[in-house]
A and B are shown apart, each in its own frame.
Chain A
Amino acid sequence: MIGRVKGTSRNLAVGGAALLALVTFACGPALYEIPIETPISAKLDVTAFQRVLVAGFVAGGTEDVDTNQETVRLLRSQLRTKSSLRVIDADVMPLQDIAQDQNKAATEVNDATISTANPSTQPTALPQHIKDEKDLEPYERLFANTTYWKRIGEEYQNPLIVTGTVLFIPRTSARFVQRETEVYDGLGRRRVVPVRTYVESKGFLLKPKFIFIDGRTGATIYSETRREEVLTNAQTNVPALSSYFELMDRIVPDFLGALSTQKVKGTRVLLK
Chain B
Amino acid sequence: MKPGGLVVGALVAAMTLVSAPSFADARQEARSQVEFGINVAQRGLWREAIYRWEKAVELDPTYAAAFNNLAIAYEHEGQLDKARKAYEKALELDPNNSQIRQNYELFKEINDRTGQGNKS
Question: Which A residues touch B100, using CB under 8 A?
Answer: 271
Bound-state Cα–Cα, A238 to B21, Å: 68
Question: Which B residues touch A1, using CB under 8 A?
Answer: none
Cβ proximity bits A9-53 to B, threshold 8 Å, 1 near / 0 not: 000000000000000000000011010111111011000000000
Question: Which A residues touch B102, using CB under 8 A?
Answer: 269
Contact of B78 among A32, A38, A44, A268 (CB under 8 A): A38
User: Taking chain A's interface residues, is the majority helix, strand, or loop, or is none over half, making it mixed?
Assistant: strand
Bound-state Cα–Cα, A152 to B81, Å: 39
B38, A264: Cβ atoms under 8 Å?
no
Q: How many residues of B contact A (CB 8 A)?
A: 31
A272 at the interface (CB under 8 A from B): yes
B35, A254: Cβ atoms under 8 Å?
no
Cβ proximity bits A249-272 to B, threshold 8 Å, 1 near / 0 not: 000001001100000101011111
Known contacts A270-B38, A272-B35, A272-B38, A36 near B72 by CB under 8 Å: yes
Known contacts A38-B75, A41-B78, A224 near B34 by CB under 8 Å: no
- Contact residues of B with A, CB < 8 Å? 31, 34-35, 38, 41-42, 64-65, 68-69, 72, 75-78, 80, 97, 99-100, 102-103, 106-107, 110, 113-114, 116-120
Could you pull out 21 A-B pairs where Cβ atoms are within 8 angstroms?
A32-B38, A32-B42, A36-B76, A38-B76, A38-B107, A39-B77, A39-B78, A43-B117, A220-B120, A222-B119, A224-B117, A266-B110, A268-B103, A269-B68, A269-B102, A270-B41, A270-B68, A271-B65, A272-B34, A272-B35, A272-B38
